[in-house]
Structure formats: structure tokens, C-alpha cells
Amino acid sequence: MDKTVPDLAAAVAGITDGMSLMVGGFGGSGAPIELIHALIDQFKATGSPGRLTIINNNAGNGRVGIAAMIDAGMVEKMICSFPRSADPRAFTEKYLGGEIGLELVPQGTLAERIRAGGSGIPAFYTPTSYGTDLAAGKPIAEFEGRHYVQERWLKADAALIKAELADLLGNLTYRKAARNFSPLMAAAAKLTIVQASRIVAPGEIDPEHVITPGIFVDRIVEVADPQQEEALMRDGVAYA
């Protein structure tokens, strides 16, 4: 079995209008810039995929990555914890103009909902957000004298993930804090698409060091020197 695909266009093929899309990364660390830009290329060429729901901790920065998807008009709704950044114009303008939706989720709840989605847990209780506006309308239960909010799993049609190493079977490692949401999202999406800085033969990643086992991965494409959001912003790049 070999899960590699020849290029970025093949990697993002099949993502269609109206899908939900998890995008790994926390700020720039772990952001799969090349996969996102390949999807923008596809949108520019074909007008699809549009009306996407994007799940990420943030809502884009500057004019690249998720922000460029928003600029291009591909995004209908963001599910995130923190739609602010050094340069949040892309989201802010569309949000204040009523052109984009927002489901705001506390960061730990966002992580746990995605983890639940990948783990077959349809709902769980958390103390987070109890008594706040973000618990409005959610079931409340008391356990051992304390109140908790019921939260539901979060799944997606596809996930875009940036890894450091991938073997042909899809076993992954990540680089430093670029790990963040990616192992959770890889498990919670129907179609998990990975860009890896290097693709290696099975056995070259120590089985003890695998962070995402290949069972969660569908497609792998090598992107040897991935772009970093912070560098693109410093250089004033606008992709959309």
C-alpha cells in the first residue's frame, strides 16, 4: 500500500462545494499552506470548492493560507476559538459585513470535540463555558456537585494536515509545536490529506515515535520546503 499522490492538485482533488474542512495548525505553526493554496488554485480554475466550513483554531492571518481562502470567497463559516491575529482583516471585514458565519468554541472544547469526533464519542461533558454565553442552549448536567456543559463531537469531510515525516503507509511525525490540532483532525475527517516535508519508506519512522498512525491518513504529498505563514506575511505575500 502506498498512500502518496503525485502532486498538490491530486492531493486536494474531490473537495467539493459545501464541505466541512479541518485545517491543522495554530497560527502559523502547522498550517498546511501549500495544500490550502492548491485548493485556492482549484477554486480559481473551476469555481469550486466554495461554501466551505473551515475548522481551525484561528481564522487566518494576513493574505495567505486560510485568510486567502476567505479573501477568495470560498468560506461560508468558520468554527474556531480565536478569530484574531496579527492581521485579521480577511475574516474581520467579511464577518462585520455579515458575509461569513462564526461558531466560536473555547479552545479546549474545540480540541476535545474534534478528538471525540475521531474517537466515536458523540457527546461529553466539560466544565468549560458553564455559566457563560457560550453555553447558551446546551444541556447542563450535575456530577458530584458541580455543573457541566454537554458538548457534541465535531467531524469533517476532509482535513488538511502538515506533517514533518510521513511513511508510505501514512504514519506521521510533526515538527515541535506544529503538532497542535493535527493528530486530532487527522482522526476526525473522512478524508485526511497530508503534506509532509519528507516521505520515507515504512520502517524508517520508529514505531515508538509515530504520532499519527497511518490508519488515520488517506493521501500524502511531499512538500520539501514548506512555506511558513510568518515569513509570507513578512514578505507581504497575498495569495488570493
Partner 1 sequence: MSTRLSNAQIAWRAAQDIEDGAYVNLGIGFPELVAKFQPPGRHAIFHTENGVLNFGESPPEGEEDWDLINAGKKAITLKPGAAFFHHADSFAMVRGGHLDVAILGTYEVAETGDLANWSTGPRGVPAVGGAMDLVHGAKRVAVITDHVTKDGRPKLVERCSLPLTGVGCVTRVYTSLAVLDIEDRHFVLREKLPGISVDELQGLTGARLVIPATVGDLVAPEV
Residues of this chain that bind a second copy (CB under 8 A): 112, 116, 119-127, 141, 143-144, 146, 148, 152, 173-174, 176, 207-209
Binding residue for partner 1 (CB under 8 A) from 22, 40, 88, 156?
A: 88
CB 76 within 8 A of CB 82: no
| Nearest residue to 211 (alpha-carbon basis) of 166, 176, 173 | 173
Q: What is the size of the binding site for partner 1 (CB under 8 A)? A: 76
Min dist CB 160 to partner 1, Å, is 16
State how far the alpha carbon of 202 is from the alpha carbons of 166, 167, 168, 170, 191, in Å.
9, 5, 6, 9, 21
Q: Which residues, including other chains, have CB under 8 Å from residue 6's CB and lie 6 or more apart?
A: 221
Q: Which of 43, 62, 91, 221 binds partner 1 (CB under 8 A)?
A: 91
Among residues 231 and 238, whose Cβ is nearest to partner 1? 231
C-alpha count within 13 angstroms, C-beta hemisphere, residue 32 = 36
Binding residue (CB under 8 A) for partner 1 from 4, 81, 152, 237: 81
DSSP 26: B
**Closest CB to a second copy among residues 133, 144:** 144
152 binds, among partner 1, a second copy, none (CB under 5 to 8 A by kind): a second copy
Rounded CA separation 123/56 (Å): 20
How many Å apart are CA 206 and CA 145, to the nearest integer? 45
Based on the shown chain and the rule CB under 8 A, indicate whether residue 219 belongs to the binding site for partner 1.
no
| Spatial separation of the C-alpha atoms in residues 184 and 109, rounded to whole Å | 12
Which residue, 52 or 114, has its beta carbon nearer to partner 1? 114
The residue behind cell 470560498 is 74
Of 173-192, which residues contact partner 1 (CB under 8 A)? 174-184, 187
96-107 core/surface letters (b: 16 or more CB in 10 A; e: else) = eeeebeeeebbe
Cell numbers of 79, please?
Answer: 468554527
140 is a site residue for partner 1 (CB under 8 A): no
One-letter amino acid for residue 124 of the chain: F
Q: Which does 26 bind (CB under 5 to 8 A by kind): a second copy, partner 1, none?
A: partner 1
Place of cell 466551505: 52
Instruction: Single out the residue of 22, 214, 219, 222 in contact with partner 1 (rule: CB under 8 A).
Output: 214
Looking at residues 45 to 74 of the shown chain, list those that interact with partner 1 (rule: CB under 8 A). Answer: 57
Give the one residue of 6, 97, 98, 120 binding partner 1; rule: CB under 8 A.
Answer: 120
Stretch that binds partner 1, among 9-17, 33-41, 43-51, 210-218 (CB under 8 A): 210-218
Q: Which stretch binds partner 1 (CB under 8 A): 7-15, 28-36, 45-53, 62-70?
A: 28-36
